Each structure stands twice: as structure tokens, then as C-alpha cells.
């Protein structure tokens, strides 16, 4: 093993394990231990970014190694190529931001009964699992790392176990994680049966029959889609992500969901090989529904972290729209359009990791300063937390896909890919793709409306509670973590051609072709399709906005100014304006709730107590009634029948054991 990038990647794994060991071995969280721990996490992130950039700029070099671990006949194999390198960069960037944000945030836990050393140890193991997943080159190591990632994140979700809601969320998450893991294991089993080996190299060489390749794809899509949070398998996500500490929520939503995207891309585009039309249509439809339903569910929320979790469902849906478009075009032999769609999906994967982690940091900062998660109890935070308000605004603009920030570029690329539907021969597909593009456009509009609600209610206006009125800006480290991600959101929005150039090796690895050099060599214009079709000059957009901003300020400063008398606004003879007269998050979403009401289970009523009226509103996800509740009832009925076997008589148990033994012998023989 002489490849320096692979050495750096394995070094990141070792340092993450060292950070976990440091936290657990102390069994106490002194200030110097905390500083050293987060320093090691930051070093892990730097090593991961360096290794990933080495793989992306290495000219298509693929480095492999065999580790002296695993089973005697099945040692662990690792591989670093452009795809794993891209996801290493993603993991590394967010980890560095967590290392900056974490020390100030976890200081709040030092005054509680929750052991910080356990939180640190589990976070290190969680990070180790994600790094090993993207480096694994055989199914055995992949599943070990996958389970390490899932189990450690389960304990992070249930970290504050004194709350019953956290225990429920963690159990649901663990259940869905293992259902997805079993599906992934079965998918790898199909590939291993035809490839006669558990290494990814053997699986690539296997020749699957069409039926079995579709079975393997279906199992992988179910498993990775469950972990990614696709509708209707998303119900665990808005429960689990808000329950975890905010810097862990950033890792789960910003990184862990992307590790699931990595697994799907590796399985479908790399190991399975030739794309099929049915796969692409399935992924495209599920992604479109996930994007639209995710943003609609988010609009109904007033818990800030739960709202952000639902937006993860939305953005994962957008990523899978790009992947579905790529599979559709590849199955039709349109490689260039497939490349554009794949690049768009990868770009949005990176973008979502950045702005969603930034937003969870902002939510964590607000929670740290106010101890409030209910948006309807906030207000006026921009005056008390100006830096957090600025960085949160950057995240809101980015996730709303507005220029010049990064979210616009990836969604614009997705639209450009969808607009290539005219080149398909099937009339059904030429109609389907514009419909999914229209659903994406509606999703973008609703996302913008949702974050207008969030920012306007939480950061503008007057404070609605005593905790918010006493809020103060968070520590320098917490602001630095937000500033890093906010700067990257702007940078990736202004220099898209540079990012696309770094993504080209991934496309060349998976599809054998990248975007045209004209697209990636001109820093001024992004032209994924012929220039007469569409182009985007991000630096010019930023320059135009800057000129308008400063020009407007200059005109206001130099123009004629009339004497202005400041006084209270006319209130029609009623009492002076106060916080109760402001729009709430619930009232802001009321028109949309009325339009899309049939998609939710809504419990809305007005109750009178002691002459005072109180309004109650509870909005639930219909996925519970349609998918989860029937399964729960079936399990309960089955369990009640199994209980009848417990008669308390030994001879009955011996009879059942004998019957089981006879059945097994009959099956084996």
C-alpha cells in the first residue's frame, strides 16, 4: 500500500478511532480532554478531505489494499477511487465544521446528567463507520461498517434517554435501520452468488440474469432508500434526527444520509453495471414524490429541528430525481444526458451536506441560547444573535435554491437534465420527465415559502418568550463552524465549473465519460448542454447583485432626504402592537394546509377553559396509517397468539422442541 491518498484515508479512520478511545478511556470530560478530542475530530476531517481531493485529482487512479483484519478466508479489502474520494471530501468538510462547533455546544451538557465521554466515544465510532463504508471493497467490510454506523447512531439518538420521545424515536430508527440493512445484505448476496465471491471485484465480473439483476436492484433500493429517508420509508427520520444533539444531527442529516446515497450509487452504477429503464423510472417517481411530500410535511411543522429533518426527505428526493434521470437516459443510450443528471445529483449531494449541516448548527445555536425549539415561541433573534442570524439566512437562501448560492446550481443542473427529455424516443417518457420537472419546480417554490416562514417568525419581529428575550450570541467556535459552511455555500455557488471539474472523474469512473471540457475549463460560464440551449454565469450574477446592493445604498445615501418623524404605527385605536399580534408559523402555513389537507391527518379544534379559548392543531404523517400502523397491529396480534405457547409445562416445551427438530431434519434431508 503505497498510494498516499489511501494512506491518508486510513489515517483518518485511525484518528477517528483514537478520538473515540480518548473519550471513552477517560470516563470524565475535563476541558483539556474535550479540546484534544475535538482537535482529533478536526484532524480526521482534514485527513479525509486531503485523501478525497487526492483521489479526485489523481487522474483516475484507483488504490486498493488488503487489511490484516476480518475472517481468515475473507480479509477486509479497501479501495479509494474517485467516487469514494468525493464522499470522503463531503464527510471531511462537515467533520471539520463539527470540530469547530462542538466544544461550545457540548458545554451545555456538562451541567446535565448525560455523560459527555459517552457522547464523544459514540460520535467517534459513528464517524469511523461512515469512513469505512465509503472505503470498503468487499461486502463483508461494508456490512460491518454499515452496522457500526447504524448502531452507534442509535445510541446517539437515545443519548438523552430520560425523554420518552427520544427512546421511541431511537427504537423506530434502529428497527428501520436493521430492516434496511437486511435488505442490503440480501442484495449483496444475489451479487455474490453470481460473482462467486464477496469482493466488489468479483461482483463486477458476475453476469446476472435480467430477473436477478432487477431483484438485486430492488433490494438495494429498498435498503439504501430506507436509510436515506425516501417516502414512504421516511417516518423514522423526523423522529430520530431532532432527538440527537444538534452537532450529531448535522452529521446524521448532512453526512449519514449521503453515505446511503453513496451505497446506492456504488451498488447500482458500479456493481450492477448496465442500467435498465424500469429502474430509472422507479427511482425518478419515488424521488419526485419524496421531494414534494418532504417539503409539504416540513411546511406543517413548528418544531425547528423536526422541520429541518423533513427538508432532508425533500432534498434526498431531489438527489434521487437526478439519479433516476441518469438511469433513464443511460438505459436509452443517451450518455451525455445521463452524465449531466449524475453530476447534478452529486452536486446536490455535496450542497445538501453543507447547507443542511449549517442549518442544524443554526438550530443548535438557537437551542443553546434560548432552550426553545418551537418556532412560534421565538422571534426577534436577529437583534440578539446577529451572526447566527446571518449564517442561518445563508442556509435558508441556499436550501431555497436561490442564486448566487450553491443550492441553485445543482437544482438548475437537474432541470437542464430533465429538459433533455425531447431526445427520448418513448412518448410516455417525454411526458413523464417534464411532469417530474414541474414537481421539482413546485418543491422549490414551497421550500422558499417554508424558509420565509422560518426566518421571518424566528429571527424577525418581537420576542415571544422570556428565554428568547434573554438570548445572547453563541461562542466564537460555534460561530466559526457556521461561518465555514456559509462561506462554502457561497463558494460552491459562485464557482460551479470548478466543482463540476472535480466531479468529472466520478462520472468517468462510473459511466466512462465526463462533461465536455468547455463546461469545466471556463470559470465564467457553466454550459452542461450546448450554449445556445442554456448557460449560467454565476460570477456575473454575484457581481450584478453586488452592484445593485451598493448602488442602492449609494442612491439612498446621496439622494434627497426628507425629515422623518419616528412614532408608533397607527393601530386603529387598539392597544399598542405586541408579540401576540405577529404571524406565527402555524398561521403562515394555514393556506397551504387547506390546499393540501387531504395528504395529512389533521386534528384541529378550539377548546374553551375558564372563559378562555385555546386553539389546538396536530398534523400527522399519513404514512403511519398506511404503512406502519398495519404492520404494528399485525405484529401485536401475532405476538398475542405466540404467548399462548407459554403454558408453563415442561412437557409442552419439549414437544415443541421435538417437532421443530423433526421439521428441520425433514427440510435438510
| In a domain? residue 282 | no
What would the pLDDT profile of 515-574 be if each residue is shown by its tens digit? 876 565 566 777 776 656 677 777 888 888 888 888 887 777 776 655 666 666 666 656
Of 10-19, 119-128, 328-337, 558-567, which gets the smallest average pLDDT?
558-567
**Residue 650 sits in the same domain as residue 519:** no
Helix (H/G/I), strand (E/B), else coil: 402: coil
Helix (H/G/I), strand (E/B), else coil: 614: strand
What would the pLDDT profile of 36-74 be if each residue is shown by its tens digit? 889 999 999 999 999 999 999 987 788 989 888 877 778
Considering its fold, how many domains does the chain have in total? 2
Which H or E run includes 657? Answer: helix 650-668
pLDDT at 533: 65
What would the pLDDT profile of 326-359 be if each residue is shown by its tens digit? 999 998 888 888 999 999 999 999 999 999 999 9
**Residue 512 sits in the same domain as residue 655:** no
DSSP state of 134: H
Positive or negative torsion for Cα 239, 242, 243, 244:
positive
Please identify, among 492, 520, 551, the residue that sits at the C-terminal boundary of a domain.
551
**Residue 533 sits in the same domain as residue 643:** no
User: What is the pTM for the complete model shown?
Assistant: 0.90
Helix (H/G/I), strand (E/B), else coil: 465: coil
Specify whether the CB–CB gap between 91 and 255 falls below 8 A.
yes
**Residue 546 sits in the same domain as residue 600:** no
| In a domain? residue 238 | no
**Residue 425 sits in the same domain as residue 516:** yes
**Residue 524 sits in the same domain as residue 653:** no
pLDDT at 656: 80
What would the pLDDT profile of 158-212 be if each residue is shown by its tens digit? 887 777 778 888 888 888 888 899 999 999 999 998 888 889 999 988 888 889 9
Positive or negative torsion for Cα 448, 253, 406, 487:
positive
Within 10 angstroms of residue 516's Cβ, the number of other Cβ atoms is: 15
Phi, psi for 380 (deg, rounded to 5): 70, 20
Give the 3-state DSSP-derived string for 490-516, with helices as H, strands as E and coil as C. Answer: HHHHHCHHHHHHHHHHHHHHHHCCCCC
- As a whole number of angstroms, the distance between CA 244 and CA 309 comes to 11
Specify whether the CB–CB gap between 97 and 484 falls below 8 A.
yes
pLDDT band at 460 (very low <50, low <70, confident <90, very high): confident
| In a domain? residue 613 | yes
Q: Which residues sit opposite 448 in a β-bridge?
A: none
Q: Average pLDDT of 628-645?
A: 75
Question: Measured at the alpha carbon of residue 304, what is the angle toward residues 300 and 307, in degrees to the nearest 5?
Answer: 45
pLDDT at 669: 65
**Residue 447 sits in the same domain as residue 392:** yes
**Residue 400 sits in the same domain as residue 471:** yes
pLDDT at 354: 95
- Three cell numbers written together for 346: 452529486
Q: Average pLDDT of 266-275?
A: 88
pLDDT at 588: 72
| In a domain? residue 414 | yes
Specify whether the CB–CB gap between 486 and 395 falls below 8 A.
yes
DSSP state of 124: H
**Residue 528 sits in the same domain as residue 637:** no
Is the predicted pLDDT of residue 472 greater than 60, yes or no? yes
Average pLDDT, the chain: 86
pLDDT at 171: 84
Residues 6+ apart with CB under 8 A from 463: 378, 379, 380, 381, 384, 469, 471, 579
Query: 3-state DSSP: the chain helix, strand, coil percent, rounded to 5?
Result: 75, 5, 20
Q: What percent of the chain has pLDDT over 70?
A: 92
Q: What is the CA radius of gyration of the chain?
A: 26
What would the pLDDT profile of 391-422 be if each residue is shown by its tens digit? 999 999 999 989 889 989 999 999 999 988 88
**Residue 539 sits in the same domain as residue 613:** no
Of 101-110, 301-310, 502-511, which gets the smallest average pLDDT?
101-110
| In a domain? residue 607 | yes
**Residue 474 sits in the same domain as residue 541:** yes
Is the predicted pLDDT of residue 456 greater than 80, yes or no? yes
| In a domain? residue 409 | yes
Residue of higher predicted confidence among 584 and 665: 665
DSSP state of 442: H
- As a whole number of angstroms, the distance between CA 179 and CA 184 comes to 9
Please identify, among 551, 582, 608, the residue that sits at the C-terminal boundary of a domain.
551
Residue of higher predicted confidence among 82 and 526: 82
pLDDT at 1: 54
Please identify, among 526, 551, 576, the residue that sits at the C-terminal boundary of a domain.
551
Which residue segment(s) compose the domain that 421 sits in? 292-551
**Residue 372 sits in the same domain as residue 467:** yes
pLDDT at 276: 87
| In a domain? residue 46 | no
| In a domain? residue 434 | yes
pLDDT at 222: 94
Specify whether the CB–CB gap between 436 and 420 falls below 8 A.
no
Q: What percent of the chain has pLDDT over 90?
A: 42
Alpha helix segments (H runs only) across 460-475: 466-469
**Hey, what's the torsion of the CAs at 489, 494, 497, 503, to 10 degrees?**
0
Amino acid at each position: 500500500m503505497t498510494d498516499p491518498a489511501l494512506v491518508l484515508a486510513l489515517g483518518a479512520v485511525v484518528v477517528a478511532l483514537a478520538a473515540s478511545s480518548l473519550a471513552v478511556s477517560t470516563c470524565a470530560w475535563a476541558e483539556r480532554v474535550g479540546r484534544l478530542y475535538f482537535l482529533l475530530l478536526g484532524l480526521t476531517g482534514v485527513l479525509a478531505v486531503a485523501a478525497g481531493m487526492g483521489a479526485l485529482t489523481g487522474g483516475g487512479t484507483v488504490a486498493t489494499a488488503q487489511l490484516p483484519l476480518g475472517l481468515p478466508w475473507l480479509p477486509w479489502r479497501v479501495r479509494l477511487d474517485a467516487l469514494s474520494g468525493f464522499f470522503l471530501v463531503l464527510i471531511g468538510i462537515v467533520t471539520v465544521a463539527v470540530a469547530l462547533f462542538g466544544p461550545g455546544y457540548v458545554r451545555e451538557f456538562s451541567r446535565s446528567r448525560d455523560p459527555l465521554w459517552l457522547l464523544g466515544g459514540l460520535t467517534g465510532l459513528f464517524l469511523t463507520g461512515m469512513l469505512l463504508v465509503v472505503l470498503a471493497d468487499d461486502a463483508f467490510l461494508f456490512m460491518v461498517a454499515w452496522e457500526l454506523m447504524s448502531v452507534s447512531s442509535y445510541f446517539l439518538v437515545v443519548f438523552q434517554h430520560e425523554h420518552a420521545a427520544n427512546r421511541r424515536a431511537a427504537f423506530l430508527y434502529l428497527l428501520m435501520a436493521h430492516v434496511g440493512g437486511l435488505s442490503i445484505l440480501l442484495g449483496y448476496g444475489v451479487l455474490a452468488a453470481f460473482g462467486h465471491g464477496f469482493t466488489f471485484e468479483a461482483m463486477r465480473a458476475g453476469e446476472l440474469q435480467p430477473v436477478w439483476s432487477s431483484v438485486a436492484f430492488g433490494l438495494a433500493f429498498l435498503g439504501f432508500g430506507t436509510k436515506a429517508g425516501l417516502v414512504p420509508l421516511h417516518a423514522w427520520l423526523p423522529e430520530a434526527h431532532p432527538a440527537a444533539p444538534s452537532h450529531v444531527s448535522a452529521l446524521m442529516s448532512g453526512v449519514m444520509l449521503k453515505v446511503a446515497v453513496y451505497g446506492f450509487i456504488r451498488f447500482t452504477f458500479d456493481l450492477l453495471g448496465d442500467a435498465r429503464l424500469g429502474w430509472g423510472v422507479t427511482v425518478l417517481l419515488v424521488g419526485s414524490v419524496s421531494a414534494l411530500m418532504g417539503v409539504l410535511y416540513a411546511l406543517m411543522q413548528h418544531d425547528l429541528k423536526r422541520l429541518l429533518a423533513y427538508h432532508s426527505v425533500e432534498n434526498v428526493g431531489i438527489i434521487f430525481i437526478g439519479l433516476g434521470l441518469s438511469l433513464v437516459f443511460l438505459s436509452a443510450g443517451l450518455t451525455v444526458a445521463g452524465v449531466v443528471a449524475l453530476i447534478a445529483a452529486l452536486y446536490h449531494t455535496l450542497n445538501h451536506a453543507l447547507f443542511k449541516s449549517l442549518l442544524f448548527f443554526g438550530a443548535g445555536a438557537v437551542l443553546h441560547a434560548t432552550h426553545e425549539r418551537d418556532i412560534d415561541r421565538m422571534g426577534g433573534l436577529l437583534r440578539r444573535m446577529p451572526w447566527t442570524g446571518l449564517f442561518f439566512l445563508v442556509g435558508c437562501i441556499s436550501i431555497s435554491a436561490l442564486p448566487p448560492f450553491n443550492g441553485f446550481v445543482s437544482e438548475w443542473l437537474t432541470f437542464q437534465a430533465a429538459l433533455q427529455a425531447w431526445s427520448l424516443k418513448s412518448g410516455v417518457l417525454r411526458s413523464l420527465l417534464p411532469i417530474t420537472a414541474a414537481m421539482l419546480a413546485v418543491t422549490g417554490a414551497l421550500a422558499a415559502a417554508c424558509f420565509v416562514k422560518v426566518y421571518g417568525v424566528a429571527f424577525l419581529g418581537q420576542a415571544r418568550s422570556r428565554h428568547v428575550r434573554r438570548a445572547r450570541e453563541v461562542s466564537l467556535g460555534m460561530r466559526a463552524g457556521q461561518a465555514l459552511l456559509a462561506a462554502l455555500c457561497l463558494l460552491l455557488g459562485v464557482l460551479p465549473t470548478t466543482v463540476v471539474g472535480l466531479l468529472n472523474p466520478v462520472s468517468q469512473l462510473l459511466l466512462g465519460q465526463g462533461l465536455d471540457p468547455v463546461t469545466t475549463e471556463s470559470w465564467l460560464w457553466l454550459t452542461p448542454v450546448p450554449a445556445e440551449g442554456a448557460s449560467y454565469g454565476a460570477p456575473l450574477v454575484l457581481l450584478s447583485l453586488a452592484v445593485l446592493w451598493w448602488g442602492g445604498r449609494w442612491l439612498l445615501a446621496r439622494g434627497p432626504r426628507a425629515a422623518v418623524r419616528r412614532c408608533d404605527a397607527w393601530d386603529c385605536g387598539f392597544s399598542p402592537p405586541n408579540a401576540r399580534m405577529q404571524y406565527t408559523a402555524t398561521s403562515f402555513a394555514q393556506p397551504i394546509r387547506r390546499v393540501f389537507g387531504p395528504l395529512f391527518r389533521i386534528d384541529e379544534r378550539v377548546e374553551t377553559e375558564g372563559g378562555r379559548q385555546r386553539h389546538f392543531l396536530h398534523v400527522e404523517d399519513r404514512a403511519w396509517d398506511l404503512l406502519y400502523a398495519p404492520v404494528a397491529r399485525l405484529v401485536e396480534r401475532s405476538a398475542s397468539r405466540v404467548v399462548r405457547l407459554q403454558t408453563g409445562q415442561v412437557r409442552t416445551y419439549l414437544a415443541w422442541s421435538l417437532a421443530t427438530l423433526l421439521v428441520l431434519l425433514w427440510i435438510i434431508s
